[in-house]
Amino acid sequence: MSYTLSGFEGKVALVTGAGRMRSIGRPIAVELARAGCDVVLTGSGRAADTYPADEKAAGWRDIESVADEVRALGRRALPVVSDVRDAAAVERLAEQVLQAFGRVDFLINNAGSTRGGDRIAATELPLEQWHRVLDTNVDGTFFMSRCFARHMGELGNGGVIVNISSIAARMLAPNTAAYATSKAAINALSTVMAGELGHRGIRVNVVAPGMIDTSRMDDVPRGKVWDDIVRKHIALQRAGTGADIAHMVVFLCSDQAAWITGQTFHVDGGHGHAPRR
């Protein structure tokens, strides 16, 4: 029996929110390419002057840089600026992907709203912050899943949808009304769609990351503050990396996960189970 993951040769993966240098989307795209996929990478087209200092220093070019990494692995890459919040833009994206590759096999809904002014009590939460988070996280996941599941069904090859959620949907912490609600909605949508799409050979699962060391978390100071959070909350005593999440995503897309659908996998280093000291 071989334990090498299989089922990727000749397949096409689409990863949203794939442009940041320190991220979850980038390693997902790279590891799917390493497994054997051609990869479509989408990003929001963020302005270069908004990049973190390390991206500016590295001459980072968002999804174009990730596309170069995919090509360096001998796979085709298609970087596309697209807005997951816009249903019409999602339809145009699908047309572009099918024209370029003729198929889509794996959809990874990774695009998410940035951390910002939504992290306050629900009674004080501005409506624009509520909609900013829900529009990207919930509508974006729904529009992408709805559109690409239709195409997967029409193509008749089956497929896999992996939605990136968060342990926030389980923790339901104060001051996370918009974010936690959006991630809980992603979990629910994924379970519903798994039941609807199984007869077409389309599997739908969720990966819910814990504390991942990415640029998204740069509002939390590294050093003592960061280390104290890790020590107090994470059993494995380290923050996760984008690669930790990518490895689970690749597994869920593989033949070895062919009988897994409608599930939520918490990849969090044992968050909430750290030893008391």
Catalogue the active-site residues: 179
Give, as one character, the DSSP assignment of residue 221: P
User: Going by DSSP bridges, is the β-strand pair 77-81/38-43 parallel, antiparallel, or unpaired?
Assistant: parallel
CB 125 within 8 A of CB 71: no
3-state SS assignment for residue 257: helix
CB 141 within 8 A of CB 163: yes
User: From CA 202, how far away is CA 152, in angstroms rounded?
Assistant: 8
User: From CA 15, how far away is CA 78, in angstroms rounded?
Assistant: 10
Spatial neighbors of 223 by CB under 8 A, at least 6 apart, are none
User: From CA 13, how far away is CA 105, in angstroms rounded?
Assistant: 6
Count CB atoms within 10 A of the CB of residue 109.
Answer: 28
Position 220: which residue type? Answer: V
User: From CA 192, how far away is CA 225, in angstroms rounded?
Assistant: 39
φ and ψ at residue 218, rounded to 5 degrees:
-70, -10
What are the C-alpha distances in Å from 99 to residues 63, 132, 152? Answer: 20, 31, 14
Position 70: which residue type? Answer: V
